[in-house]
């Protein structure tokens, strides 16, 4: 049950990240960084314990670290080169 709930939460957060990047919504990306940072900390801090128990979260640590780097860059850049992939309607 716990893994199912965690998985649903992960999927919804991932969808929000995709939407934020697609729409170039820097405000939402900054907000979503607040979910990535503690996740990265938790995974990195508990990886040794998981290895001792026979598991390994190194892949997740790498993926979340890459998410943190990419979201940080996109959320705080100001050069204006990235635009939404969807055409904006003008009236």
- 20: closest CA among 71, 73, 57, 66? 71
Sort 44 into a burial class: Cβ within 10 Å, 0-12 / 13-18 / 19+: middle
Write down the domain spans for the chain: 2-76
Sort 29 into a burial class: Cβ within 10 Å, 0-12 / 13-18 / 19+: buried
The model's pTM: 0.71
> Which pLDDT tens digit goes with each residue over 16-40?
999 999 999 999 999 999 999 998 9
Mark the ranges of the chain whose per-residue pLDDT is less than 50: none
């Amino acid at each position: 049950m716990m893994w199912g709930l965690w998985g649903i939460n992960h999927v919804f957060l991932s969808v929000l990240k995709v939407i934020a990047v697609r729409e170039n919504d820097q405000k939402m990306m900054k907000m979503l960084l607040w979910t990535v940072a503690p996740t990265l900390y938790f995974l990195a801090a508990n990886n040794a314990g998981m290895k001792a128990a026979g598991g390994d979260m190194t892949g997740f640590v790498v993926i979340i670290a890459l998410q943190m780097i990419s979201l940080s860059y996109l959320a705080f850049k100001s050069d204006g080169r990235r635009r939404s992939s969807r055409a904006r309607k003008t009236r």
